């Protein structure tokens, strides 16, 4: 009986530890705060977000981002928490050379959120 209670307690503790690893902490930065900033800055603060190239939808050019692209040359236009446990956040990017003041303002208003399903409110 005593051994059974110990095993139940150990299993519950292990489950709680596993779930805590997937949960966001109150100190995790809000991915939305990086909208308008470089992907490099977002990566420094968010770890390994899911990066989505929305160039075609936002500026009408073919998506070209890949994991080897220089993150300083990409600007975040959408950022949100991801429902996917593999990534804590989703960020959408376009090339820095394509960013205008109007695009930056629209991004800050959330006008491009619809291009990232997890961010569309």
pLDDT per residue of the chain (121 residues) written in tens, 0 to 9? 555 543 344 444 333 333 333 444 555 688 999 999 999 999 999 988 999 999 999 999 999 998 778 999 999 999 999 876 677 899 999 999 999 999 999 999 999 999 998 887 6
The range of the structural domain enclosing residue 44 comes to 26-115
pTM over 0.85: no
Assigned domain for 70 exists:
yes
C-alpha 75: how far from its chain's center?
Answer: 13
The secondary structure of residue 38, as a DSSP letter, is: B
Are 78 and 107 in contact, with CB atoms under 8 Å apart? yes
Assigned domain for 62 exists:
yes
Number of domains in the chain: 1
């Amino acid at each position: 009986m005593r051994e059974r209670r110990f095993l139940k307690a150990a299993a519950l503790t292990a489950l709680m530890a596993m779930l805590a690893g997937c949960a966001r902490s109150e100190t995790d930065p809000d991915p939305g705060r990086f909208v308008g900033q470089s992907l490099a800055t977002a990566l420094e603060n968010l770890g390994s977000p899911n990066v989505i190239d929305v160039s075609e939808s936002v500026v009408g050019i073919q998506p070209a981002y890949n994991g080897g692209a220089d993150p300083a040359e990409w600007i975040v236009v959408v950022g949100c928490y991801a429902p996917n446990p593999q990534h804590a956040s989703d960020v959408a990017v376009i090339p820095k050379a394509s960013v205008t003041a109007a695009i930056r303002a629209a991004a800050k208003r959330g006008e491009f959120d619809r291009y990232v399903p997890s961010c569309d409110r």
